[in-house]
A = this chain, B = another copy of it.
Amino acid sequence: MVESMVAAGSKSEQAYAAIKDQILQGLYSPGYRLVLSKIADGLGVSVVPVREAIRRLEAEGLVKFERNVGATVAGIDPVEYLYTMQTLSILEGAATALSAPLIGAADVARARAVNAEMRACLEHFDPIRFTQLNKDFHSVLFEHCPNPHILGLVHQGWDQLGSLRSSTFRFVPGRAHESVDEHEALLRLIETAAGAEDIEKAARLHRSATLDAYLNQAKNI
């Protein structure tokens, strides 16, 4: 029982957790230069564990690393956005379908409450808050996925998208309305224990539609 009880195991894990946390919180914005020695000083460790942490974050796609140059917080250009959203549509669709049989009435109620907040949010539209709620909503749906590989990949995808503090909805506010409606439809499917195939398709299309909305918007500029 050490007084401070850092609890985190190795220093590289501490560093990993600390940096990841700061990136996900948006304290470092995309493109921010992650200088190893600075981070090491900030955490009170040497650079070696920091390097390991950075490489792990790189593998997760949260950090971009360039040899002999350094690490930067991974932004997300339109092309990457497309790839990530498409991948996520597939994985999250599957995760939601696999998760569906394990979603209880309480979960559905919770999701519905979140969706109600989202609907309320539509009036004085706040893209950041809406995006956060959107994530909360979907988390309820896929979090019970019994396959940890798939679940992990879904989390990874969301984290990568997280660098956009406010998602597509900022650029395509109209999509927000549809999204809320589709959420309710998705909940109905789950409540009525619809077939896995239907749920998967609905969940996937829900996300693809957001992507398409973005692409159309981008095209018209």
Structural contact, B91 and A90, CB atoms closer than 8 A: yes
**Count of interface residues, chain A, beta-carbon cutoff 8 Å:** 22
Chain B CB within 8 A of A153 CB: yes
Cβ proximity bits A27-55 to B, threshold 8 Å, 1 near / 0 not: 00000000000000000000010011001
A44: min CB distance to chain B, Å: 20
A80 shortest CB reach to chain B, Å: 9
* Interface pair A149/B84, CB less than 8 Å apart: yes
Alpha-carbon separation in the docked complex, A9 to B68 (Å): 10
How many copies of the chain does the oligomer comprise? 2
Q: Is the CB of B153 within 8 A of A153?
A: yes
A12 closest partner in B (C-beta): B55
Check A147 against B52 for contact (C-beta < 8 Å). Answer: no
Q: Given that A10-B67, A67-B10, A90-B94 are contacting pairs, would A83 and B149 also be in contact in the complex, using a CB cutoff of 8 Å?
A: yes
- 10 nearest A-B residue pairs (beta carbon): A59-B59, A87-B149, A90-B94, A83-B149, A83-B147, A87-B150, A86-B147, A52-B55, A9-B67, A55-B55
